[in-house]
Amino acid sequence: MKLSLRLSAFASLAVCVVAHEGHDHDTQMPLDYVRFPYQAMYPGDNEVTADSVFSGIATFAKLPWVQCLGRDRDASFDVAFIGAPFDTGTSYRPGARFGPAGIRAGSRRLTLYGGYNVPLEVNPFHSGLKIVDCGDIPVTPYDNKYAIKQIEDGHKSLLHRQTFSPLGNDSATGLPLVPISVDGKHHPRVITLGGDHTIVLPLLRSIYSAYGPISVIHFDSHLDTWKPQVFGGAPTDQAAINHGTYFYWASQEGLIKNGTSIHGAIRTTLSGPADYVNDDESGFQRIEAREIDTIGTAGIIKKIRDTVGDQPVYLSIDIDSIDPAFAPATGTPETGGWSTRELRTILRGLDGLHIVSADIVEVAPAYDTNAELTTMAAADVLYEVLSVMAKTPLGKVLV
């Protein structure tokens, strides 16, 4: 309402100026003169705005900004985007602290034509779910231990909030759905914009508080299950937790469901074959990036689905799973990766899985092209994730 009043005053002023210049515009310019299909994206959002997709303040996909960790602590939603601007666990190129801002800029155009996903036959922005951008978790760049706790607390604050929409009934049987969490509650979903990959340790600690040990689908050119002695040398306890070791720690803490978790797009060099033995012990199956040449996207999708089954699953996407030709702006780029098209196809192949929350990490916009290749790829990848989420409620039918 406040925005409309301000715009109204501004429009009147504009009309006055025009009139003084001698043109015969004597009626006020309508406030919705730049109405685009992206408007009214969630229930109750019918506010007229003069912002087009290329103007105004950047939120993910121009979604409404809610200060979920500030003055809007009681706000409810079904899906929340939240930034975790942390990059002090990086081994090579720093800069992922600017990832959330970059991804939001890369996402501006997502709803220019309305946001309908043709292959998935859904418009996540008009699916009845309340989807918001909660801004960023405050993260200190001076103390990793403290920052990791901030990220866990920020994520938990969103995850344990009341959902905006009820769980509803099963579309096939009409029977009421019950939550798939271990605490029996229906939780909203959180999509985190990283940040370097270290953030997944506190994110999985938060996920554990609602779902217990979770199956993980992890797209990355790197394993990230390295022992601290192998990756970084672990000179201190703090150094031992970084963007190459967080899955080792998550496994040690029992946060990951052993045997139903899987990496995709792996192609890094190793310290030696023992890294794969260690990776096995951390509970992961592996899909190598080069397997796309033999089994294709369909074969990769099948491997993932066969591994995860109908378990609740957490999805973590390192932008470096995509080839640097398509996504150069990242912390530890590796050639020989998947195209943006291939990763998007694989993500759509997860349709029907119970993805409880997700993230995209390692986007470091300072290394991007002027054409915003990487941040656009990150935004489009999350659009596929959001579409899959919109189609499948986080519930099951009791049998």
DSSP assignment, residue 181?
A: S
The stretches of the chain forming alpha helices (DSSP H) are: 2-20, 99-106, 144-159, 200-211, 246-252, 274-281, 296-308, 340-348, 373-391
Residue (323 or 351) nearer to Mn ion, CB:
323
Stretch that binds Mn ion, among 83-91, 215-223, 288-296, 366-374 (CB under 5 A): 215-223
Stretch that binds Mn ion, among 80-88, 90-98, 188-196, 213-221 (CB under 5 A): 213-221
Residues constituting the chain? 399
Stretch that binds Mn ion, among 24-32, 212-220, 226-234, 302-310 (CB under 5 A): 212-220
Least spacing, CB of residue 104 vs Mn ion, in Å = 22
C-alpha radius of gyration, the chain, whole number: 22
Binding track over 318-347 against Mn ion, x by CB under 5 A: x-x---------------------------
**Is residue 136 part of the contact set for Mn ion (CB under 5 A)?**
no
> What are the backbone angles phi and psi of residue 264, rounded to the nearest 5°?
-130, 145
Residue 105 CA to residue 111 CA, distance in Å, equals 13
Residue (318 or 384) nearer to Mn ion, CB:
318
| DSSP secondary structure string for all residues of 200-226 | HHHHHHHHHHHHSSBEEEEE-SS----
Residue (127 or 316) nearer to Mn ion, CB:
316
> Do residues 216 and 354 touch, judged by C-beta distance below 8 A?
no
Interface of this chain with Mn ion, residues 302 to 321, rule: CB under 5 A: 318, 320
| DSSP secondary structure string for all residues of 138-173 | ---SS-HHHHHHHHHHHHHHHHTSPBSS---B-TTT
DSSP assignment, residue 266?
A: E
318 is in an annotated binding site: yes
Residue with tokens 């081994």: 91
Residue (221 or 357) nearer to Mn ion, CB:
221
Binding track over 217-246 against Mn ion, x by CB under 5 A: ---x-x------------------------
Least spacing, CB of residue 346 vs Mn ion, in Å = 16
Buried b vs exposed e over 22-61: b needs ≥16 C-beta within 10 Å? eeeeeeeeebeeeeeebbebbeeeeebbbeebeeeebbbb
Least spacing, CB of residue 354 vs Mn ion, in Å = 25
Interface of this chain with Mn ion, residues 278 to 307, rule: CB under 5 A: none
320 is in an annotated binding site: yes
Largest separation between any pair of C-alpha atoms in the chain? 80
- By CB under 5 A, the count of residues binding Mn ion is 4
Residue (99 or 179) nearer to Mn ion, CB:
99
Residue (219 or 383) nearer to Mn ion, CB:
219
Residue (222 or 344) nearer to Mn ion, CB:
222
Residue (42 or 226) nearer to Mn ion, CB:
226
224 is in an annotated binding site: yes
Least spacing, CB of residue 295 vs Mn ion, in Å = 22
Least spacing, CB of residue 224 vs Mn ion, in Å = 7
> What are the backbone angles phi and psi of residue 395, rounded to the nearest 5°?
-145, 165
Give me the half-sphere count of Cα atoms (radius 13 Å) on the Cβ side of residue 53: 17
In terms of DSSP bridges, do strands 354-361 and 312-318 run parallel, antiparallel, or are they unpaired? Answer: parallel
The whole-angstrom distance between residue 45's C-alpha and the CA centroid of its chain comes to 23
222 is in an annotated binding site: yes
Least spacing, CB of residue 221 vs Mn ion, in Å = 5
Least spacing, CB of residue 364 vs Mn ion, in Å = 12
- Residue positions in the annotated binding site? 197, 220, 222, 224, 318, 320
- Residue positions in the annotated binding site for Mn(2+)? 197, 220, 222, 224, 318, 320
Residue ranges in contact with Mn ion by CB under 5 A: 220, 222, 318, 320
